[in-house]
Amino acid sequence: MKELEFAEFYRSSRDVCLRAVLAGVGERQLAEDLVAEAFTRAWAVWPKVARHPAPRAWVVRTALNIRVSWWRRRRREVALGEGHDVAESPGGDPGVDPSLLALLRQLPRRQREVIAFRVFLDLDTEATAKALGIAPGTVTAHLSRAVATLRGHLVPTPEAGE
């Protein structure tokens, strides 16, 4: 029973979680690795995750936490120069427009995380705040700033004199 329940959760949630993590980290291969690790951890404690009010948010938050842990470990191993960017993997479209993904990469980390939870996982402000461990007002502020930045890049402005 546990196996079937988890298999259905994985099947219905993998792509959504991948898109959310991709929005948060900006690199496809890294997002895939993080999501795989997060689902592995979810399987290990499935009864707990199954009772969580938002199991997908648990997976995404876990994936983002894993990234921080990996980053802390690896920053001591290899120092990369500014502007280092990993190319998109040829493994297919993750469902996020490449130009949008490029803009998301430019946002601060917390803004990317809020976008991942509010937009890609479609969580409300309260659930996002709880998942990220921040105040609801902070979620609103980060979302507002992120949307304003993205709008500035994506929405054409009327030419002066029109």
Q: What is the pLDDT of residue 58?
A: 96
For 116-162, the pLDDT digits (tens) are 899 888 899 999 999 889 999 999 999 999 999 988 888 776 664 45
Residue 98: its pLDDT value, please? Answer: 82
- Check whether domain 2-77+95-154 has CATH 1.20.140, yes or no: yes
Encoded tokens for 81: 């120069």
13: helix, strand or coil = helix
User: How would residue 38 be classed by pLDDT, with cut points 50, 70 and 90?
Assistant: very high
Distance from C-alpha of 42 to C-alpha of 128, rounded to nearest angstrom: 19
Secondary structure (3-state) at 36: helix
Q: Is the Cβ–Cβ distance between 59 and 50 less than 8 Å?
A: no
Cα–Cα dist 15/120, whole Å: 10
Predicted local confidence at residue 99, as pLDDT: 82
d(Cα 63, Cα 38) in Å, to the nearest integer? 5
Cβ(65)–Cβ(37) below 8 Å? no
pLDDT of residue 89: 43
Residue 72: predicted pLDDT: 62
Torsion (CA) 107, 122, 132, 23 in degrees, nearest 10: -30
pLDDT, greater one: 95 or 150: 150
Section 103-107 average pLDDT = 89
pLDDT tens by residue, 42-87: 999 999 999 999 999 999 999 999 987 766 656 554 444 444 444 4
